[in-house]
Chains A and B, each alone.
Chain A
Amino acid sequence: MTEKLKTILEQAGEELAKAGSLADAEALRVKLLGKKGQLTEILRSMKDYSPEERKTLGQAANEARAKIETMIAERTAELKKLAQEARFKAETLDVTEPGVSAVPGYKHLISLVIDDTIDFFSSMGYTIAEGPEIDTVHNNFDALNADPNHPSRDMTDTFYITDKVLLRTQTSDVQARVIAAQQPPIRLISPGRVFRCDTPDATHSPMFHQIEGLVVDEGITMADLKGVLDKYAKHLFGSHLATKFRPHHFPFTEPSAEMDVECFKCGGKGCNICKGSGWIEILGCGMVHPNVLKFGDYDTEKYTGFAFGIGVERIAMLKYGIDDMRLLYENDIRFISQFR
């Protein structure tokens, strides 16, 4: 009996060592410990022995069982580990192969600049005003204090639909619309398309985009104008760059100014981008002319305001060193997908 147990144990050890798979190990478990297993048989045959013998034999058999169970468990764990290793090996991937994903689309560069500007100004409490691309001569010129003989009104400069309706030449027309429709306080920007009679080439386009800004409230000063636009220029091109305001002339502002920003390429030393001057002209601005405010019946003693206008294409081209404006409207995906 004891011999038998010993043999079973030895055999179990040998067979387990030979078991190459979890299934083999399981089969062995059934063969030894299952309902009809060898060890179970032995335990069953114990009833033929005397109680003393039974006691010792039972103890030996249980020990053998425990041993076998441990051996099987160990072997199983080992086999599991091997199986996992094998699986990992089989499943190993070339991680340098390209990934698979849904490819997202890109914003157009013009939208990128406009949205960036919208984010900047809306965070400061500005609303976004929009106006039609086809507008009246009144909104585009008259209400903006443009001289009735100003050459920009000529058919060589402006596209007309009728003698009173045109393709707007500036987003400033939205100023006229807002001032006619609403009372201060006003803080808005107005991005949009504008049109001028220019044949397309590297630096001209008959259609381009502008962003207009208008602030009217009590106590608005030129210092405020400088503050807001200096912040905006730094947002666009870099917080370390200085700005410079020069007097200029626009019919709808008085005083008027142009803002230059220190050349972001050379930092002001002079290069091909800034044409050696160290400064780049960015936008036109000024204090809203009282002749413009009067179209809204504003109390000009109480309210003052500033306005500015910026060319989106110009900013985009400067910022990324694009030398041909036509690329913006050609919509080659290899161009579009470079900007985000």
Chain B
Amino acid sequence: MLVPIKWLREYTDVNVPVDKWVDGMVLSGTNLESVEYWHKGISGVVVGQILSIEPHPNAGKLVVCQVNVGQEEPVQIVTGADNMKEGDKVVVALDGAHIPGPLHGKPKNPDGEIIRAGELRGVVSNGMMCGCQELGFPDKIVPVRDKDGLWILDDECFVPGTDIVEALGIEEPTVDFEITPNRPDCLAMLGVARESAATFGTKLRYPETVCAKVAPEESKDYIQVEIRKPELCPRYCCRVIKDIKIAQSPWWMQRSLMLAGMRPINNIVDITNYVMLEYGQPLHAFDIRTVRGGKIIVDTAKNGDKFTTLDGVERELSDSILMINDAERPIAIAGIMGGLDSEIEADTNMVLVESANFSGDCIRAGSRKLNHRTEASGRFEKGIDPNLAKDACDRFCYLVELLGAGTVLTGDVDCYPEPAKPAVTRVRASRINKVIGIDIPVQQMVSYLNALEIKTEVDGDVITCTAPTVRQDLHIEEDYVEEVARMYGYDKIPVTLPKGSIAGGLTAEQKYRVMVKDTLRALGFSEIMTYSFVSPKAVDKVNERENSYFRQFVKLINPLGEDTSVMRTMLLPGMMEVLGTNMSRNIPAVRFFELGNTFIDVPDRKEPELPTEKYSLCLGLFGEKENFYTLKGAVEQLLRAAGIREPEYRAEKFDKRFHPGRCAAIECGIYSLGAMGQVHPEVCAAYGIDQPVYAAEIDFEMLKELADISVRYTPLPKFPAMSRDFAMVVKEEIEVGKLEELIKKTAGDLLESVTLFDVYRGANIPEGSKSVAFNLSYRAADRTLKEAEVSEINTGVLKALKDRFDAVLREM
């Protein structure tokens, strides 16, 4: 809401400097967006009057003007403008003047422009006549008549030689306030003035609405109103004005509109806008010649009806759209836009001014259906007090009379079947104090409320509050808690802490996540975060098989684009994207993890109306020193920390996300925990990655489910261990894991540990075979083992390995 301070003073006094005023308004609840000072960057600019216009001797498109700028001698100015005539008053930037610009046809210079005397095609020019934009006014508020040329100041108030800032009366800024949706009443000068008056203890002055002289004919002789849908149109008020004289508005009105962000057009339109900004009530003026049958009928349209609005667009209607009709046909879309046929024309002589109230929901639905929003429709959507309609209508007529724009007829036609009643709320002073945490007397609360024009009746602790009907946000006790709190001042409310204490902290599950993340960071993995939504093609990109579980996407109805149109089902695509980004930036090595939610289009077990949402954990890495086993080492450490006591790694050849010879399924008993390996070169290629990257994706919910992070203490051994090392040659395809498994099975309970300590291929080992070396440690808890018994067990182990895997013992 743009509030020109000079205009605001019409309704209440502003007795403090503007910055202090703004601070006060912010603290009482009207939040600041920005402050615009119009006079900044303007100096040496005065009102001038053109005495003569002569052709330029050397240039057809230029003219030489003698301009009275209040000095003894006129000033000679050469200009290329052509919208002025002798006698016009204009804006003159004298030699050395500063103006904000931009200069006509030039880009805006942030430092503004300095005007210098000089010669234009051989003729001296001692200044510049300015357009409105050149004084820094944005294009959209420049008076429509002077949009494309000099700014012609035709109000009598302008005296040649007067400093332009003073003459225009733009010393004071416009304050832009953010109005929250609960306070549509503040989208009006009067609403802001009401807040200001309550905040600063000044008086609120309502605008004059009574015409001094009205014509004897009555409005009702010209028009009858019928509301066929009263639930959509609670009130329709209108008056008739004759002898309309379309002209420019006086400067004071133009200024008010411009500084409030609206473009002056002509007196009738300007008054309409002026009253809308004063009261927040949109008005509409019809040329009464076009209102057939002297009737206004408010009714919904029929599906498929067509109507051309005043912007010349033919729009298709529906039965949810409310229309203003005359006796024969529609003439306006209620609350949204007038019709082309009933528009005010230059020769309009008699006007019907409508000040109506339409249901916000109806206007919202209609404007959405038509896909067309206007200033008026926006205001109706937010909610307008129907009690404003008559005041606004009368104010319009008063201003028409004041501006000499027409003669107002007697009386109005006001169709208001069920007048809005003010909301009455019982509030308890004690409750207000209790919720805020203060202790102020009832009388103080009452004075705050009265300052906001809330009527009060006090009965002990109870204050019965009657809210003005413009305040549509005051219904329940809590609403009044806020009124008192903000008038008291949030800054004065003390600072305390809640009493009592309760146990807090993380749940076991949350701690588990923290532990997993801590472990991964200790292992050198940095955390990444990627979008929760991805392209459905992401799973193709990582070679996920057809009919996979991971293709059961949760789809967005209204995605920003294909790339973010489904919820991620796995984290690998995001990881690949990030690995690719880092690689493309010449980063030599990274280790990343993401622990995040994934989504599957299967009803959630606990809340079947929602899809399944579960955590997944993805690891990804690349770098000169990284390989399958560095990733596996990390996975092993992670699983150990995460409480998976006996994970198994099974060669997996069919998971196409990975290199078929370098992929392991990670399992725990009968459960699958995920997969890890070198990412398939095709997948890498899809992400523009040309060196090996390794990744793992782990089902975090399963991990959590299977985790056993309890600690079981085992006493330190009392008897020594006995160790046996051996190396043997086996065929390449024999997995070390299989050998270990057999060793454990054969060696029995006395085997404390088996450790693979070397794998060797090369000299002395036949092609297609490898040498693997194990250390076996034997120990009994209750005695020292004898050489003989260990040797016997070990011999059995070696025999079993020989029998089963054809393992040949090597000389150590």
Residues of A near any B CB (own CB < 8 A): 102-108, 110-111, 118, 121-128, 130, 132-136, 147, 149-150, 155, 159-162, 164-165, 167, 185, 187, 193, 195, 197, 199, 206-207, 215, 217, 219-224, 226-228, 230-231, 244-249, 254-258, 287, 289-290, 304, 328-334, 336-337
Chain A residues with CB under 8 A of B273: none
Using CB atoms, name the residue of chain A closest to B613.
A132
Kindly supply a per-residue 1/0 record for chain B positions 530-556, scoring 1 wherever the CB is within 8 Å of any chain A CB and 0 otherwise. Answer: 111100000000000000000000111
Q: 4 shortest A-B CB distances, which residue pairs? A: A221-B437, A223-B437, A247-B29, A255-B482
Is the beta-carbon distance between A106 and B526 smaller than 8 angstroms?
yes
Q: Is the CB of B522 within 8 A of A104?
A: yes
B502 touches A160 (CB 8 A): no
B494 at the interface (CB under 8 A from A): yes
Q: Quick check: B490 and A110 within 8 Å, CB to CB?
A: no
Residues of B within 8 A of A128 (CB): 505-507, 510
Q: By the criterion CB–CB under 8 Å, are A105 and B495 in contact? A: no
- Is B521 interfacial (CB 8 A cutoff)? yes
Task: Check A290 against B478 for contact (C-beta < 8 Å).
Answer: yes
CB distance from A324 to the nearest CB of B (A): 15
Write out the residue numbers on chain B whose beta carbons fall within 8 Å of the beta carbon of A108.
526-529
Residues of the A chain whose Cβ atoms lie less than 8 Å from the Cβ of B557: 155, 159-162
| Docked-complex contact B498 and A107, CB < 8 angstroms | no
Stretch touching chain A among B77-85, B343-351, B583-591, B788-796: B583-591
B499 touching A126, Cβ below 8 Å: no
B31 contacts A246, C-beta separation under 8 Å: yes
Q: Which of B510, B558, B590 gathers the greatest number of chain A CB atoms within 10 Å?
A: B558
**A285 CB, min distance to chain B CBs, angstroms:** 11
Q: Tell me if A246 and B26 are in contact (CB < 8 A).
A: yes
How many angstroms from the CA of A107 to the CA of B171 in the assembled complex?
53
Q: Which residue of B lies closest to A337 (CB)?
A: B526
Q: A104-B522, A133-B597, A221-B435 are in contact. Are A246 and B181 (CB under 8 A)?
A: no
In the complex the two chains form, is B613's CB within 8 Å of A111's CB? Answer: no
A-chain residues with CB within 8 Å of residue B501 when the two chains form the complex: 125
CA distance A185 to B597 in the complex (A): 29
A116 to B549, CA, bound (A): 37
Asked whether, in the complex, the Cβ of A136 is within 8 Å of the Cβ of B560, the reply is no
Q: Provide the bound-state CA to CA distance between A228 and B486, in Å.
A: 19
**Cross-chain contact B609 with A227 (CB below 8 angstroms):** no
Cβ-defined contact, A290 with B476, below 8 A: yes
Instruction: Specify which of A127, A249, A332 is in contact with B581 (CB 8 Å cutoff).
Output: A332
The yes or no answer to B748 lying at the interface (CB within 8 A) is no
Q: Do the beta carbons of A187 and B493 come within 8 Å of each other? A: no
Pick the residue among A104, A246, A328, A332 that contacts B524 (CB under 8 A).
A104
By the criterion CB–CB under 8 Å, are A289 and B478 in contact?
yes
Asked if A331 contacts B506 (CB within 8 A), the reply is no
Give A222 to B495 CA distance when docked, in angstroms: 8
Question: Which of chain A's residues have a CB closer than 8 A to the CB of B438?
Answer: 223
Q: Does the CB pair B530–A331 fall under 8 Å?
A: yes
Q: Is B491 an interface residue (CB 8 A)?
A: yes
* Min CB–CB distance A186 → chain B (angstroms): 9
Any A CB within 8 A of the CB of B481: yes
Contact at A133–B613, with CB atoms within 8 Å?
Answer: yes
Closest to B498 in A: A224
A244 & B491 in contact (Cβ 8 Å cutoff): yes
Contact across chains for A197 and B499 when beta carbons are under 8 A apart: no
Chain B hits for A304, CB < 8 A: 434-435
B23 to chain A, nearest CB (A): 10
Interfacial residues of chain B within 467-512, with CB under 8 A of chain A in the complex:
476, 478-479, 481-482, 485-486, 490-491, 493-507, 510
The answer to whether the Cβ of B525 comes within 8 Å of any Cβ in the partner chain is: yes
Whether the pair B28, A247 counts as a contact (CB closer than 8 A) is: yes
B544-584 with Cβ < 8 A to chain A: 554-560, 564, 567, 578, 581-582
B180 an interface residue at 8 Å Cβ cutoff? yes
Any chain A CB within 8 A of the CB of B276?
no
Complex contact A254–B482 (CB within 8 A)? yes
- Once the chains bind, are A227 and B495 in contact (CB under 8 Å)? yes
Question: Within 8 Å CB of A221, what residues of B?
Answer: 434-437, 496
Q: Is A197's CB under 8 angstroms from B560's CB?
A: yes
**Which residues of chain A come closer than 8 Å to B656, judged between CB atoms?**
none
Find chain B residues with CB under 8 A from A227 CB.
495-498
Known pairs A222-B436, A290-B476; A230 contacts B613 (CB<8 A): no
The proximity string for B residues 252-283 relative to A, scoring 1 for CB distances below 8 Å and 0 otherwise, is 00000000000000000000000000000000
Chain A residue nearest in CB terms to B34: A275
Known contacts A255-B486, A328-B529, A105 near B520 by CB under 8 Å: yes
Report yes or no: B581 in contact with A105, Cβ–Cβ below 8 A.
no
- Interchain CB contact (< 8 A) of A249 among B182, B498, B590, B611: B182
Determine the chain B residues whose CB is within 8 A of the CB of A337 once the complex forms: 526
Q: How far is the CA of A165 from the CA of B601 in the complex (A)?
A: 12
Cβ–Cβ contact A329 & B529, under 8 A: yes
Known: A221-B437, A247-B27. 5 other contacts (CB 8 A): A102-B524, A107-B517, A246-B29, A254-B482, A336-B527
- Contact present for B478 and A125 (CB under 8 Å): no
- Whether B587 pairs with A333 at a CB distance below 8 angstroms is yes
With a cutoff of 8 Å between Cβ atoms, the chain A residues found around residue B361 in the complex are 149
A337 to B585 CA separation, bound complex (whole angstroms): 15
Interface pair A149/B364, CB less than 8 Å apart: yes
Residue among B479, B499, B532, B578 making CB contact with A331, cutoff 8 Å:
B578
A106 → B minimal CB distance (Å) = 4
| Cβ–Cβ contact A248 & B29, under 8 A | yes
Q: Using Cβ atoms and an 8 Å threshold, which residues of chain B touch A126?
A: 504
Whose C-beta in chain A lies nearest to the C-beta of B481?
A: A255
B610 at the interface (CB under 8 A from A): yes
Q: Which of B31, B360, B610 contacts A132 (CB 8 A)?
A: B610
- Would you call B180 and A248 a contact (CB within 8 A)? yes
Are A228 and B582 in contact, CB atoms less than 8 angstroms apart? Answer: no
Does B700 lie at the interface of the complex (its beta carbon under 8 Å from any beta carbon of A)? Answer: no
Q: From residue A86, how far is it (CB to closest CB) to chain B in Å?
A: 35
Interface string of B177-193 (1 = CB under 8 A from A): 00011110000000000
Question: Is the pair A165, B613 in contact by a Cβ cutoff of 8 Å?
Answer: no
Q: Which residues of B contact A215 (CB under 8 A)?
A: 498
Write out the residue numbers on chain A whose beta carbons fall within 8 Å of the beta carbon of B531: 206-207, 329
Q: Are B495 and A226 in contact (CB under 8 A)?
A: yes
**CB-CB under 8 A for A161 and B555, given A149-B364, A222-B493, A248-B180:** yes
Q: How far is the CA of A257 from the CA of B31 in the complex (A)?
A: 11
- CB-CB < 8 A to B360: which residues of A? 149
Known contacts A106-B521, A290-B478; A124 and B590 CB within 8 A of each other:
no
Q: Which residue of A lies closest to B527 (CB)?
A: A108
With A287-B478, A332-B585 known as contacts, the answer to whether A110 contacts B529 (CB < 8 A) is yes
Residue of A nearest to B478 (CB): A254
Q: Is the CB of A161 within 8 A of B556?
A: yes
Distance in angstroms between the alpha carbons of A207 and B532 in the assembled complex: 8
Q: Which of A135, A155, A224 contacts B610 (CB 8 A)?
A: A135
Give min CB distance, B396 to chain A, whole Å: 29
Who on chain B is nearest to A177 by CB?
B607
- A139 CB to closest chain B CB (Å) equals 10
Are A332 and B582 closer than 8 Å at their CB atoms?
yes
B158 within 8 A of A: no
CB pair B560–A206 under 8 Å, yes or no, is yes
> Which chain B residues in 170-209 approach chain A with CB under 8 Å?
180-183
A258–chain B nearest beta-carbon distance, Å: 8
Distance in angstroms from A56 CB to nearest chain B CB is 58
B592 adjacent to chain A (CB < 8 Å) = yes
A333 touches which one: B29, B522, B582 (CB < 8 A)? B582
By a CB distance below 8 angstroms, the chain A residues around B558 are: 155, 159-160, 197
B684 smallest CB distance to A (angstroms): 18
CB distance from B552 to the nearest CB of A (A): 13
Query: How far apart are A128's CB and chain B's nearest CB, in angstroms?
Result: 6
Q: Check B599 for interface membership: any CB of A closer than 8 A.
A: yes
- Cβ-based interface call for B416 (8 A): no
Across the interface, B505 reaches (CB within 8 A) one of A107, A127, A135, A199, namely A127
- Is B532 in contact with A195, judged by CB distance below 8 angstroms? yes
| Chain A hits for B485, CB < 8 A | 222, 247, 255
